Amino acid sequence: MRANLPNQLTLSRVFLGLLFCFFVLQGGLVYLSLAALTVVAAFISDLLDGHLARRWRVVSHFGICFDPVVDKVFVLSAFAALVALPKSNLPVFPLILIMMRELLVLGLRVILLVSSSGLLPAERFGKIKAAIQFSLILAVNLALLGGAPPKTHEHLGTAFWLVGFLTVISGIPYFWKNREALRRAWASSTKKQN
Q: Which tens digit of pLDDT belongs to each residue from 82-135?
A: 999 988 989 999 999 999 999 999 888 888 877 776 667 667 787 889 899 999
In the predicted model, what is the mean pLDDT of residues 67-72?
90
Answering whether pTM is above 0.75, one says: yes
pLDDT tens per residue, range 131-187: 999 999 999 999 999 888 989 999 999 999 999 999 999 999 989 988 888 888 888
Say how far apart CA 71 and CA 29 lie, in whole Å: 26
Domain boundaries defined on the chain: 5-189
From the list 149, 25, 35, 159, the residue with the least C-alpha distance to 84 is 25
Q: For position 12, what pLDDT does the model report?
A: 94
Instruction: Write out the chain in H/E/C secondary structure.
Output: CCCCHHHHHHHHHHHHHHHHHHHHHHCCHHHHHHHHHHHHHHHHHHHHHHHHHHHCCCCCHHHHHHHHHHHHHHHHHHHHHHHHCHHHCCCCHHHHHHHHHHHHHHHHHHHHHHCCCCCCCCCHHHHHHHHHHHHHHHHHHHHHHCCCCHHHHHHHHHHHHHHHHHHHHHHHHHHHHCHHHHHHHHHHHHHHHC
Say how far apart CA 124 and CA 154 lie, in whole Å: 29
Q: For position 188, what pLDDT does the model report?
A: 78
Amino acid at 45: S
Q: For position 113, what pLDDT does the model report?
A: 79
Query: What CATH number matches the domain at 5-189, 1.10.357.10, 4.10.91.20, 1.20.120.1760, 1.10.1040.50?
Result: 1.20.120.1760
Dihedrals phi, psi of 148, to nearest 5 degrees: -60, 150
Contacts of 133 (CB under 8 A, 6+ apart): 75, 79, 98, 163, 167
Higher pLDDT, 65 or 177: 177
pLDDT tens per residue, range 26-64: 989 999 999 999 999 999 999 999 889 889 998 887 888
Q: For position 24, what pLDDT does the model report?
A: 96
